[in-house]
Amino acid sequence: MQPRSVRILDFDSSLTKQQNLIQRFNSSITDLRQIGPHCRLWMNAATAEKIKRSLDPSLKASATFLGSGDFHHISSLLIRQFDEPISVIIFDHHPDWDILPPKFGCGSWASRILEMPNVRKVILLGVSSEDISGSGIKTANLAALKENRLEIYPYIHPPTKVFLRPVPENISFELRRHLLHSSIIWQELQNKNLKDFCETNNVLMEYEILNKKGNKLNDIGHLNNNGNFLLGELYYKIFIKYKERNEKI
C-alpha cells in the first residue's frame, strides 16, 4: 500500500490555508513564499536553480501541490528529479507547448520536458484553448507529435488548419493533407466513456473516482466545482497507478 503523503511547495500561502488537505495527508511543506513573486507565470534560470536546490530528492515520488495555476510550470523542475523513463499526463485547458521564450514559463513548460530524453511520452488531456489553432499553432511544438511522443486529446475543439508547416502523423488525431495546409481532426473527449478511452489509449487511471454515478469525461467539470482537494486526489491516484505500472515493467 502506497503511503498517502503529499509535498506542498508554498509559493503563495494558498495551500497552507487548506487544513483539510494538510491534516488528512502526511504533508511536507516547503516555504517558498519569498521566491513566489519571482516565478509567477515565468522564471529565469537563476530562480529555477534556487527552486531545484530546495527540492528534497527523497520526496520526489510524493504527490506535489504548487498552489495557484500561475506556478504550474514548476512541474518541469519536479519532473527533472527523475532519471528513470517516465510518462507525463497533463490536465490543462492550454497545451503549454510553445517553442518561443521564456524557457521556464507557463506557456512553454511542456516543450521543456519533451527535451528530456527520459520522458517517453506526454499526454495532454482536456486542452480546448485557441493555442492549438489560429495564431497559436504557428509557434506550437508540432515536431513533438512525431512518433506519438506527444498526444493531445481536447475536451472539445473544432478542426485545426495548419498552413505551411509540416504536421507529423499522430494517433491522437486524424490528419488530412491539402496543397497549402493540413487539417487536424481532433479526438474530442466530450461525451467519451472514460474507461473505454483509457483502455483504447493505454491511459492508466482509476476512472471510478471521477464520478461515482457515471464515468463520462464531461463529469470532470463537477470535480472542479468541488475544489482543488478532490482534483488532487485524482492526480495522486493517477500518479500511483503509473508508478505501479513502471515498477512492474
* pLDDT tens-digit map of 72-99: 999 999 999 999 999 898 989 999 999 9
CA-wise closest residue to 207 among 42, 89, 57, 92: 89
| Separation in Å, CA 224 to CA 56, 91, 221 | 30, 12, 5
CB 168 within 8 A of CB 142: yes
Question: Is residue 214 over pLDDT 60?
Answer: no
Q: Are 30 and 62 in contact (CB under 8 A)?
A: no
Grade residue 202 by pLDDT with cuts at 50, 70 and 90. low
Say which residue the cell 494558498 belongs to.
Answer: 14
Residue 205's pLDDT band (cuts 50, 70, 90):
very low
**pLDDT for residue 2 is more than 90:** no
Q: Is the pLDDT of residue 102 over 60?
A: yes
pLDDT at 140 over 60: yes
Domains of the chain, residue spans: 1-81, 85-188, 191-249
pLDDT digits (tens, 9 = 90+) for 147-191: 999 999 999 999 999 999 999 999 999 999 999 999 999 999 887
Residue range 234-241: mean pLDDT, rounded? 49
% of residues, the chain, pLDDT over 70: 77
Task: State percent of the chain over pLDDT 90.
Answer: 57
Three cell numbers at 128? 480546448
Give me the half-sphere count of Cα atoms (radius 13 Å) on the Cβ side of residue 63.
24
Q: At residue 194, does pLDDT exceed 70?
A: no
pLDDT of res. 203: 56
pLDDT category, 61, cuts 50, 70, 90?
A: confident
Pick the more confident residue, 51 or 216: 51
- Give the H/E segment covering residue 76: helix 75-79
Residue 223 CA to residue 234 CA, distance in Å, equals 9
Q: Does residue 59 carry a pLDDT above 60?
A: yes
Q: How far apart are alpha carbons 95 and 76 in whole angstroms? A: 14
